[in-house]
Chain A
Protein backbone atom coordinates (compact mmCIF):
# COMPACT_ATOMS: atom_id res chain seq x y z
CA UNK A 1 0.00 0.00 0.00
CA UNK A 2 1.30 3.42 -0.89
CA UNK A 3 2.12 6.11 1.65
CA UNK A 4 -0.38 8.92 2.04
CA UNK A 5 1.01 12.07 0.42
CA UNK A 6 -2.00 14.39 0.18
CA UNK A 7 0.25 17.39 -0.55
CA UNK A 8 0.94 16.29 -4.12
CA UNK A 9 -2.10 18.21 -5.43
CA UNK A 10 -1.01 21.67 -4.21
CA UNK A 11 -0.08 23.86 -7.18
CA UNK A 12 3.39 25.37 -7.43
CA UNK A 13 4.58 23.51 -4.34
CA UNK A 14 7.02 20.65 -3.84
CA UNK A 15 7.06 19.23 -0.34
CA UNK A 16 10.57 18.30 0.78
CA UNK A 17 9.79 14.85 2.08
CA UNK A 18 12.04 11.87 2.71
CA UNK A 19 11.77 10.87 -0.97
CA UNK A 20 12.86 14.31 -2.23
CA UNK A 21 15.60 14.46 0.43
CA UNK A 22 16.99 11.15 -0.79
CA UNK A 23 17.15 12.43 -4.39
CA UNK A 24 18.64 15.73 -3.31
CA UNK A 25 21.12 14.65 -0.68
CA UNK A 26 24.30 15.54 -2.61
CA UNK A 27 22.75 18.64 -4.18
CA UNK A 28 21.82 19.97 -0.74
CA UNK A 29 25.16 19.02 0.79
CA UNK A 30 26.92 20.84 -2.08
CA UNK A 31 24.86 23.92 -1.11
CA UNK A 32 25.83 23.42 2.52
CA UNK A 33 29.52 23.45 1.54
CA UNK A 34 29.05 27.07 0.42
CA UNK A 35 28.78 28.07 4.08
CA UNK A 36 32.61 28.14 4.04
CA UNK A 37 34.30 31.13 2.48
CA UNK A 38 37.07 29.13 0.78
CA UNK A 39 34.44 26.91 -0.86
CA UNK A 40 32.46 29.92 -2.07
CA UNK A 41 35.63 31.27 -3.65
CA UNK A 42 36.50 27.98 -5.30
CA UNK A 43 32.93 27.61 -6.59
CA UNK A 44 32.91 31.13 -8.01
CA UNK A 45 36.27 30.70 -9.73
CA UNK A 46 35.05 27.65 -11.66
CA UNK A 47 31.51 26.50 -10.96
CA UNK A 48 31.58 23.45 -13.22
CA UNK A 49 34.84 22.12 -11.75
CA UNK A 50 33.53 22.57 -8.23
CA UNK A 51 30.23 20.86 -9.03
CA UNK A 52 32.09 17.93 -10.61
CA UNK A 53 33.60 17.17 -7.20
CA UNK A 54 30.10 16.22 -6.01
CA UNK A 55 28.27 12.99 -6.90
CA UNK A 56 25.29 14.98 -8.21
CA UNK A 57 23.34 14.10 -11.35
CA UNK A 58 24.09 16.02 -14.53
CA UNK A 59 20.56 17.45 -14.39
CA UNK A 60 21.19 18.80 -10.89
CA UNK A 61 24.49 20.38 -11.95
CA UNK A 62 22.86 22.06 -14.97
CA UNK A 63 20.02 23.37 -12.81
CA UNK A 64 22.53 24.90 -10.39
CA UNK A 65 24.56 26.46 -13.22
CA UNK A 66 21.34 27.95 -14.65
CA UNK A 67 20.23 29.09 -11.15
CA UNK A 68 16.91 27.44 -11.97
CA UNK A 69 15.63 27.06 -8.42
CA UNK A 70 12.33 25.45 -9.41
CA UNK A 71 14.24 22.76 -11.29
CA UNK A 72 16.64 22.34 -8.33
CA UNK A 73 13.64 21.81 -6.05
CA UNK A 74 12.10 19.30 -8.45
CA UNK A 75 15.42 17.39 -8.38
CA UNK A 76 15.47 17.19 -4.58
CA UNK A 77 16.79 20.59 -3.51
CA UNK A 78 15.42 22.32 -0.45
CA UNK A 79 15.04 26.07 -0.37
CA UNK A 80 16.97 26.59 2.89
CA UNK A 81 19.95 24.81 1.33
CA UNK A 82 19.52 26.40 -2.10
CA UNK A 83 19.49 29.82 -0.41
CA UNK A 84 23.24 29.36 0.17
CA UNK A 85 23.76 29.59 -3.61
CA UNK A 86 21.91 32.91 -3.56
CA UNK A 87 24.03 34.13 -0.65
CA UNK A 88 27.15 33.16 -2.62
CA UNK A 89 25.81 35.20 -5.55
CA UNK A 90 25.07 38.14 -3.24
CA UNK A 91 21.32 37.89 -3.90
CA UNK A 92 18.62 38.54 -1.32
CA UNK A 93 16.14 35.87 -0.32
CA UNK A 94 13.36 37.92 -1.85
CA UNK A 95 15.22 37.94 -5.17
CA UNK A 96 15.37 34.15 -5.02
CA UNK A 97 11.70 33.83 -4.07
CA UNK A 98 10.68 36.12 -6.95
CA UNK A 99 12.81 34.13 -9.41
CA UNK A 100 10.68 31.03 -8.72
CA UNK A 101 7.38 32.80 -9.38
CA UNK A 102 8.08 34.25 -12.83
CA UNK A 103 7.80 37.77 -11.38
CA UNK A 104 10.47 40.43 -11.19
CA UNK A 105 11.75 41.19 -7.70
CA UNK A 106 9.90 44.54 -7.82
CA UNK A 107 6.61 42.89 -8.79
CA UNK A 108 7.04 40.26 -6.11
CA UNK A 109 7.92 42.82 -3.42
CA UNK A 110 4.84 44.85 -4.41
CA UNK A 111 2.64 41.76 -4.14
CA UNK A 112 3.99 41.13 -0.63
CA UNK A 113 3.37 44.75 0.40
CA UNK A 114 -0.20 44.39 -0.81
CA UNK A 115 -0.76 41.43 1.49
CA UNK A 116 0.95 38.59 -0.35
CA UNK A 117 -0.35 35.93 -2.70
CA UNK A 118 -3.95 35.11 -1.84
CA UNK A 119 -4.73 31.42 -1.25
CA UNK A 120 -7.86 31.57 -3.40
CA UNK A 121 -7.43 29.36 -6.45
CA UNK A 122 -4.05 28.12 -5.15
CA UNK A 123 -5.13 25.42 -2.75
CA UNK A 124 -5.54 22.55 -5.21
CA UNK A 125 -4.41 21.90 -8.75
CA UNK A 126 -8.00 21.20 -9.78
CA UNK A 127 -9.42 24.21 -7.92
CA UNK A 128 -11.38 26.29 -10.40
CA UNK A 129 -12.40 29.84 -9.88
Chain B
Protein backbone atom coordinates (compact mmCIF):
# COMPACT_ATOMS: atom_id res chain seq x y z
CA UNK B 1 0.00 0.00 0.00
CA UNK B 2 1.04 3.60 -0.55
CA UNK B 3 1.96 5.95 2.31
CA UNK B 4 2.15 9.65 2.94
CA UNK B 5 5.58 10.05 4.47
CA UNK B 6 5.99 13.80 4.70
CA UNK B 7 4.39 17.14 4.00
CA UNK B 8 5.96 20.33 2.72
CA UNK B 9 4.51 23.81 3.13
CA UNK B 10 5.72 26.83 1.22
CA UNK B 11 4.71 30.18 -0.20
CA UNK B 12 4.58 30.28 -4.01
CA UNK B 13 5.36 33.92 -4.74
CA UNK B 14 5.70 34.43 -8.54
CA UNK B 15 8.60 36.86 -8.11
CA UNK B 16 10.63 33.99 -6.58
CA UNK B 17 10.20 32.05 -9.83
CA UNK B 18 11.17 35.12 -11.85
CA UNK B 19 14.27 35.67 -9.67
CA UNK B 20 15.33 32.06 -10.23
CA UNK B 21 14.58 32.09 -13.96
CA UNK B 22 16.56 35.31 -14.43
CA UNK B 23 19.59 34.24 -12.40
CA UNK B 24 19.04 36.68 -9.52
CA UNK B 25 19.28 34.20 -6.64
CA UNK B 26 22.53 35.68 -5.34
CA UNK B 27 21.33 39.28 -5.32
CA UNK B 28 21.21 40.66 -1.75
CA UNK B 29 17.42 40.99 -1.97
CA UNK B 30 16.88 37.33 -2.90
CA UNK B 31 19.80 35.60 -1.22
CA UNK B 32 18.06 35.24 2.19
CA UNK B 33 14.97 33.70 0.55
CA UNK B 34 16.90 31.02 -1.33
CA UNK B 35 19.21 30.41 1.66
CA UNK B 36 16.10 29.39 3.59
CA UNK B 37 15.57 26.52 1.13
CA UNK B 38 19.12 25.10 1.08
CA UNK B 39 18.35 22.58 3.83
CA UNK B 40 15.15 21.71 2.00
CA UNK B 41 16.93 20.96 -1.27
CA UNK B 42 19.35 18.64 0.57
CA UNK B 43 16.45 16.92 2.33
CA UNK B 44 14.62 16.63 -1.00
CA UNK B 45 17.59 14.80 -2.57
CA UNK B 46 17.59 12.25 0.22
CA UNK B 47 13.82 11.99 0.38
CA UNK B 48 12.62 12.18 -3.22
CA UNK B 49 9.18 10.57 -3.10
CA UNK B 50 7.54 8.44 -5.79
CA UNK B 51 4.76 11.02 -6.19
CA UNK B 52 3.98 14.52 -4.93
CA UNK B 53 0.37 15.51 -4.36
CA UNK B 54 0.65 19.27 -4.73
CA UNK B 55 -2.07 21.54 -3.36
CA UNK B 56 -1.98 25.02 -4.88
CA UNK B 57 -4.22 27.60 -6.48
CA UNK B 58 -4.51 28.82 -10.01
CA UNK B 59 -4.22 32.61 -10.49
CA UNK B 60 -6.44 33.27 -13.52
CA UNK B 61 -4.23 31.08 -15.71
CA UNK B 62 -5.90 27.72 -16.36
CA UNK B 63 -9.23 28.83 -14.94
CA UNK B 64 -11.00 32.08 -15.72
CA UNK B 65 -14.44 33.19 -14.54
CA UNK B 66 -16.21 30.85 -16.96
CA UNK B 67 -15.75 27.98 -14.50
CA UNK B 68 -14.62 28.08 -10.90
CA UNK B 69 -14.11 24.62 -9.40
CA UNK B 70 -13.58 24.61 -5.64
CA UNK B 71 -11.38 21.50 -5.70
CA UNK B 72 -9.86 20.45 -9.06
CA UNK B 73 -7.82 17.25 -9.26
CA UNK B 74 -5.39 16.95 -12.17
CA UNK B 75 -5.69 13.43 -13.57
CA UNK B 76 -3.76 13.95 -16.82
CA UNK B 77 -0.46 12.31 -17.81
CA UNK B 78 1.23 15.69 -18.11
CA UNK B 79 0.69 19.39 -17.43
CA UNK B 80 2.29 22.28 -19.29
CA UNK B 81 3.67 25.33 -17.45
CA UNK B 82 1.18 28.15 -18.13
CA UNK B 83 1.85 31.36 -20.01
CA UNK B 84 0.84 33.95 -17.43
CA UNK B 85 1.34 36.89 -19.78
CA UNK B 86 5.13 36.95 -19.74
CA UNK B 87 5.62 33.61 -21.55
CA UNK B 88 5.70 30.22 -19.77
CA UNK B 89 8.37 29.75 -17.07
CA UNK B 90 11.41 27.89 -18.45
CA UNK B 91 10.77 24.84 -16.27
CA UNK B 92 10.24 21.17 -17.19
CA UNK B 93 6.90 19.74 -18.19
CA UNK B 94 5.08 18.41 -15.12
CA UNK B 95 4.44 14.67 -15.38
CA UNK B 96 1.33 13.49 -13.58
CA UNK B 97 0.42 10.15 -12.03
CA UNK B 98 -2.92 9.32 -13.65
CA UNK B 99 -3.41 5.97 -11.89
CA UNK B 100 -3.00 7.35 -8.38
CA UNK B 101 -4.96 10.51 -9.25
CA UNK B 102 -7.90 8.50 -10.60
CA UNK B 103 -7.78 6.27 -7.53
CA UNK B 104 -7.81 9.30 -5.19
CA UNK B 105 -10.70 10.84 -7.14
CA UNK B 106 -12.73 7.68 -6.73
CA UNK B 107 -12.05 7.31 -3.03
CA UNK B 108 -12.40 10.97 -2.04
CA UNK B 109 -15.64 11.49 -3.99
CA UNK B 110 -17.08 8.44 -2.23
CA UNK B 111 -16.12 10.17 1.01
CA UNK B 112 -18.44 13.07 0.09
CA UNK B 113 -15.92 15.55 -1.37
CA UNK B 114 -17.28 16.61 -4.75
CA UNK B 115 -14.06 17.08 -6.69
CA UNK B 116 -13.81 18.37 -10.23
CA UNK B 117 -11.72 16.05 -12.35
CA UNK B 118 -9.44 17.83 -14.80
CA UNK B 119 -7.87 16.02 -17.73
CA UNK B 120 -6.33 19.05 -19.41
CA UNK B 121 -4.84 21.95 -17.49
CA UNK B 122 -1.81 24.21 -17.61
CA UNK B 123 -0.13 24.80 -14.27
CA UNK B 124 0.97 28.25 -13.18
CA UNK B 125 3.49 29.64 -10.68
CA UNK B 126 1.35 28.36 -7.80
CA UNK B 127 2.56 24.86 -8.67
CA UNK B 128 5.90 25.45 -10.38
CA UNK B 129 7.48 27.86 -7.86
CA UNK B 130 7.32 25.32 -5.00
CA UNK B 131 8.90 22.70 -7.29
CA UNK B 132 11.69 25.15 -8.18
CA UNK B 133 12.29 26.05 -4.53
CA UNK B 134 12.56 22.41 -3.49
CA UNK B 135 14.34 20.95 -6.53
CA UNK B 136 16.27 23.88 -7.97
CA UNK B 137 16.61 23.86 -11.76
CA UNK B 138 16.79 20.23 -12.95
CA UNK B 139 16.29 19.26 -16.62
CA UNK B 140 13.34 17.08 -15.54
CA UNK B 141 11.36 17.09 -12.30
CA UNK B 142 12.59 14.05 -10.33
CA UNK B 143 9.12 12.56 -9.73
CA UNK B 144 5.52 12.74 -10.92
CA UNK B 145 3.24 15.42 -9.49
CA UNK B 146 -0.53 15.35 -9.03
CA UNK B 147 -1.81 18.94 -9.18
CA UNK B 148 -4.69 19.78 -6.89
CA UNK B 149 -6.05 23.27 -7.52
CA UNK B 150 -8.19 24.95 -4.85
CA UNK B 151 -10.32 28.02 -5.44
CA UNK B 152 -9.02 30.68 -3.08
CA UNK B 153 -9.67 33.56 -5.51
CA UNK B 154 -13.44 33.95 -5.48
CA UNK B 155 -15.14 33.99 -2.09
CA UNK B 156 -16.37 32.04 -0.36
CA UNK B 157 -13.39 29.72 -0.51
CA UNK B 158 -13.55 26.35 1.27
CA UNK B 159 -13.31 26.53 5.05
CA UNK B 160 -10.23 25.47 6.98
CA UNK B 161 -12.21 22.69 8.59
CA UNK B 162 -13.33 21.36 5.20
CA UNK B 163 -9.76 21.49 3.92
CA UNK B 164 -8.45 19.62 6.95
CA UNK B 165 -11.09 16.90 6.57
CA UNK B 166 -10.32 16.63 2.86
CA UNK B 167 -6.67 16.04 3.73
CA UNK B 168 -7.70 13.17 5.93
CA UNK B 169 -9.79 11.67 3.09
CA UNK B 170 -6.76 11.99 0.77
CA UNK B 171 -4.59 10.11 3.30
CA UNK B 172 -7.18 7.32 3.45
CA UNK B 173 -7.30 7.16 -0.36
CA UNK B 174 -3.50 6.97 -0.64
CA UNK B 175 -3.38 4.16 1.91
CA UNK B 176 -5.93 2.21 -0.15
CA UNK B 177 -3.68 2.29 -3.23
CA UNK B 178 -2.11 -1.09 -3.88
CA UNK B 179 1.37 -0.11 -5.00
CA UNK B 180 3.96 0.62 -2.28
CA UNK B 181 4.44 4.29 -3.20
CA UNK B 182 6.11 6.92 -1.05
CA UNK B 183 3.85 9.97 -1.40
CA UNK B 184 4.44 13.51 -0.19
CA UNK B 185 1.71 16.09 0.08
CA UNK B 186 2.57 19.75 -0.31
CA UNK B 187 0.45 22.70 0.77
CA UNK B 188 1.37 26.00 -0.85
CA UNK B 189 0.48 29.72 -0.89
CA UNK B 190 0.53 32.43 1.76
CA UNK B 191 1.75 33.55 4.14
CA UNK B 192 0.36 36.99 5.03
CA UNK B 193 -0.07 39.21 1.99
CA UNK B 194 -2.56 41.54 0.43
CA UNK B 195 -2.22 42.42 -3.24
CA UNK B 196 -5.17 44.76 -3.67
CA UNK B 197 -6.54 48.10 -2.56
CA UNK B 198 -5.12 50.78 -0.26
CA UNK B 199 -4.26 48.10 2.35
CA UNK B 200 -1.94 46.29 -0.11
CA UNK B 201 1.38 45.32 1.41
CA UNK B 202 -0.07 44.06 4.69
CA UNK B 203 2.24 41.66 6.53
CA UNK B 204 1.61 40.13 9.95
CA UNK B 205 4.76 38.43 11.18
CA UNK B 206 3.34 37.59 14.59
CA UNK B 207 0.16 36.00 13.21
CA UNK B 208 2.13 34.03 10.59
CA UNK B 209 4.46 32.55 13.18
CA UNK B 210 1.58 31.64 15.42
CA UNK B 211 0.02 29.91 12.40
CA UNK B 212 3.22 27.89 11.90
CA UNK B 213 3.31 26.95 15.61
CA UNK B 214 -0.28 25.80 15.58
CA UNK B 215 0.00 24.01 12.22
CA UNK B 216 2.67 21.85 13.83
CA UNK B 217 1.12 21.39 17.27
CA UNK B 218 -2.67 21.72 17.03
CA UNK B 219 -3.74 21.63 13.39
CA UNK B 220 -7.31 20.57 14.03
CA UNK B 221 -7.94 23.54 16.34
CA UNK B 222 -6.20 25.80 13.81
CA UNK B 223 -8.54 24.51 11.11
CA UNK B 224 -11.47 26.05 13.00
CA UNK B 225 -10.12 29.57 12.32
CA UNK B 226 -12.83 31.47 10.43
CA UNK B 227 -12.10 33.10 7.05
CA UNK B 228 -12.56 36.57 8.47
CA UNK B 229 -9.56 36.13 10.74
CA UNK B 230 -7.29 35.28 7.80
CA UNK B 231 -8.47 38.31 5.87
CA UNK B 232 -8.29 40.74 8.78
CA UNK B 233 -4.96 39.51 10.15
CA UNK B 234 -3.11 38.08 7.14
CA UNK B 235 -4.56 40.11 4.26
CA UNK B 236 -7.06 39.32 1.55
CA UNK B 237 -4.65 36.92 -0.18
CA UNK B 238 -3.49 35.40 3.12
CA UNK B 239 -6.58 33.21 2.79
CA UNK B 240 -4.40 30.94 0.60
CA UNK B 241 -3.18 29.43 3.88
CA UNK B 242 -6.31 27.25 4.08
CA UNK B 243 -4.54 25.10 1.48
CA UNK B 244 -1.84 24.23 4.02
CA UNK B 245 -4.55 22.57 6.10
CA UNK B 246 -5.26 20.05 3.33
CA UNK B 247 -1.65 18.87 3.49
CA UNK B 248 -1.63 18.90 7.28
CA UNK B 249 -4.90 16.96 7.42
CA UNK B 250 -3.28 14.24 5.32
CA UNK B 251 -0.60 13.62 7.96
CA UNK B 252 -0.93 11.03 10.72
CA UNK B 253 -2.64 12.00 13.95
CA UNK B 254 0.59 11.49 15.94
CA UNK B 255 2.79 14.60 16.23
CA UNK B 256 5.14 14.94 13.23
CA UNK B 257 8.89 15.56 13.23
CA UNK B 258 9.75 19.11 12.24
CA UNK B 259 12.58 18.78 9.72
CA UNK B 260 12.80 22.43 8.77
CA UNK B 261 11.15 25.77 9.49
CA UNK B 262 11.79 29.09 7.75
CA UNK B 263 10.19 32.52 7.68
CA UNK B 264 11.25 35.64 5.82
CA UNK B 265 9.81 39.05 4.88
CA UNK B 266 9.59 40.15 2.11
CA UNK B 267 9.49 38.41 -1.24
CA UNK B 268 8.00 41.15 -3.38
CA UNK B 269 4.62 41.75 -1.65
CA UNK B 270 4.54 38.65 0.51
CA UNK B 271 5.77 36.94 3.68
CA UNK B 272 7.52 33.66 2.87
CA UNK B 273 6.83 30.74 5.19
CA UNK B 274 8.10 27.20 4.87
CA UNK B 275 7.89 23.95 6.85
CA UNK B 276 8.84 20.33 6.28
CA UNK B 277 7.05 17.82 8.49
CA UNK B 278 7.70 14.07 8.50
CA UNK B 279 5.39 11.39 9.77
CA UNK B 280 7.11 9.34 12.46
CA UNK B 281 7.81 5.81 11.28
Residue ranges of A at the interface with B (Cβ–Cβ < 8 Å): 6-7, 10-18, 21, 24-25, 28-29, 31-32, 34-35, 69-70, 73, 78-81, 83-84, 87-88, 93-94, 97-98, 100-102, 108, 111-113, 115-119, 122-124
Contacts and interface: CB of A to CB of B under 8 A. Distances in A.
B268 A32 contact: no
Contacts of B197: 12-14, 70, 73, 100
Contacts of A80: 59-60, 153
B92 interface: no
B201 A119 contact: no
Contacts of A13: 194, 196-197, 199, 231, 236
Given A15-B236, A28-B65, A117 B202 contact: yes
A14 to B, nearest CB: 6
Nearest to B204: A119
Given A97-B195, A113-B266, A115-B265, A81 B204 contact: no
Contacts of B50: none
Nearest to B266: A112
B23 interface: no
6 contacts: A7-B232, A28-B64, A79-B196, A93-B268, A97-B200, A123-B232
Nearest to B82: A35
Given A87-B86, A112-B203, 5 more contacts: A21-B65, A28-B60, A35-B83, A70-B198, A116-B192
Contacts of A24: 65
Interface residues of B, number: 40
Nearest to B271: A116
B138 interface: no
B233 A123 contact: yes
A34 B84 CA distance: 10
A72 to B, nearest CB: 10
A12 to B, nearest CB: 3
Nearest to A117: B201
Interface centre among B65, B205, B266 (most CB of A within 10 A): B65
A6 B196 CA distance: 18
A112 B196 contact: no
Given A15-B236, A28-B65, A78-B60, A93 B194 contact: no
